[in-house]
Chains A and B, each alone.
Chain A
Amino acid sequence: MTRPDLVSSTPASPIPPASGTAGRRRWQAGPLLSVAVVVGILVLWWVLTTGTGVIEPLYFPAPESLLTALQVLNTRLLADAGATLARVLISWFGGSALGVLVGLLMARTRWVMYAWNPLIEAVRPVPPVALIPFVILWFGIGDDGKVFLGALACFMVMVVNTTVAVTNVPPVFLQAARSLGASTSRVYRSVVLPAIVPEILSGFRIGSALAFAVIVAAEFLGAEAGIGRLIMQASRTLNTPVVLLGTVVIAIMAVLLDAAISRLSAYVTRWSSNRV
């Protein structure tokens, strides 16, 4: 153990960064193994389809057929991907922002809590996908309904996440701030809000994944554009390469959005000791 406080008034150097990084560095083979597994799966895929024909192309398309599909679809794929991504981003951003706001109000003011809580507890257990028939009835098959559904999913996640986060703020922070001269509203702004940021950001990540799931499902049941519609149309004609291509595109978009949020959150919560 280091004893930076021993006698001298000038403290010694700060504690070195978490030992986890050193542990990871020691095992250089880790990333290599990951790459090997991915390459292995791709090779196996080719061997089982094109190579030996063990799997029929109808059940799982060969790698080359994906490239063909990509060339055939070309700009249409981009348009569909763009439509889905736009819906996801708008609903995720809008729903999350509103969810945080309502969550903060609920945590702050008792009557808002009592007014909103039954509503939220009633809607929360319902899988958003189950509302698709109603949403199509109300909004038709345009963008509005899908954005609404995605936003609703994110909203629910963020309301719950935010209220829980606020109650998790250690009381000692609030007491300290009060005894340093902060008013109650100042405590909220300068202590509660920054303290809940890590939990809010982890809610954002959950919400973004959920928005993709809900919106693609909604597109299955009817849309003018979107990856979900592309997949559904292709599956009706048993065009499995396009089905698989659509799935891959969703995965890529979801991973990129998640990576962007996690990069942002790593920067914003660089102060947090339990950051991974």
Chain B
Amino acid sequence: MATIAISGVSKVFQTTRQTTLALNETSLDIADGEVVCVVGPSGCGKTTLLNLIAGFLTPTSGEIRVAGQIVAGPDSERAVVFQSDAVFPWLTVRDNVAFGPRVQGLRADDRDARVNRYLELVGLTDFAKAYPKELSGGMRKRVDLARAYASGPEILLLDEPFGALDVFTKESMWLALKRVTAVEPKTIVFVTHDIEEALFLGDRVVVMTPRPARVHSIVDVPFGPQRDLDLRAEPEFQRMRTAIGHTLREVHDDAA
């Protein structure tokens, strides 16, 4: 686990035709072991923020520190689960999960132990030898999650990972993620446009403005670590969902 300190970060994308300010003077501090969900209208720059933390992009100004160190490029301390299918199709489930440990040069028996542990944790032990094409979308996401965990990161960055899944698969993925993080907590940044998802999973929900994105407001989620799917029917949950929905519509209308 590690803290993330984002201070005054802007990101400008420059093409020959136009200059786009994707992220404007964004600051956010994330505590050790905290789950922060970032919500905002699509195309607002949430993914840009995540890519900056991951090190795929460099800030135009400002800085991002992870555990006190300035982020300079991708690193195995920050694992990413993407929205699109990023499981390597040419590797079996087992070899996918073993990818991180292997490229980091772990000894074979340590590697096997780690791979077995995370396959078990996401419930895919029986499918270790399968190729990704033989799995459903939800199962591939589990492989992705296990692979991210097996690389031994301090931080988990999730970029709308369940956005392409149907609602039942999505719910079961929420529970799977909860189960894994309960066993092995990580500092998590979870980008989504689904308010329900953000409230169900997050310790805090960060509401972003439309492009150029910055932090509009931060909502503390009071439901504690033990949550089940029925939580969504609670009046408090409903109230918060409505409130965040209103905020999002307001910031959206201001920009439009």
Contacts and interface: CB of A to CB of B under 8 A. Distances in A.
- Contact-residue bracket for chain A: 35 or more
B103 A180 contact: yes
A11 B123 contact: yes
A179 interface: yes
A14 interface: yes
B161 to A, nearest CB: 12
Given A3-B169, A180-B76, A190-B99, A273 B89 contact: yes
A31 interface: no
The residue in A7, A15, A181 that gathers the most chain B C-beta atoms within 10 A of its C-beta is A181
A153 B24 CA distance: 53
- Contact-residue bracket for chain B: 35 or more
A197 B90 contact: yes
A6 B166 CA distance: 11
A7 B167 CA distance: 12
A108 interface: no
A4 interface: yes
A196 B118 CA distance: 29
Interface stretch (A131-139, A169-177, A215-223, A251-259): A169-177
Interface in B131-154: 131-136, 138-139, 142, 147-148, 151
Nearest to B138: A5
Nearest to B137: A5
A15 B74 contact: no
Given A3-B168, A14-B134, A177-B99, A271 B90 contact: yes
Interface string B40-70: 0000000000000011100000000000000
Given A7-B175, A182-B103, A195 B74 contact: no
B29 interface: no
A272 interface: yes
B89 A181 contact: no
A6 B90 contact: no
Contacts of A271: 89-91, 131-133
Given A4-B136, A176-B86, 10 more contacts: A5-B138, A6-B169, A11-B127, A11-B142, A179-B76, A179-B80, A180-B79, A181-B76, A182-B103, A272-B90
8 contacts: A1-B166, A5-B136, A5-B169, A9-B179, A172-B82, A176-B80, A271-B90, A272-B89
Interface of B: 54-56, 73-76, 78-80, 82, 84-86, 88-91, 99-100, 103-104, 123-124, 126-127, 130-136, 138-139, 142, 147-148, 151, 157, 166, 168-169, 171-173, 175-176, 179
The 6 A-B pairs with the shortest beta carbon distances in the complex, nearest first, are A181-B76, A5-B138, A178-B74, A273-B133, A180-B100, A9-B123
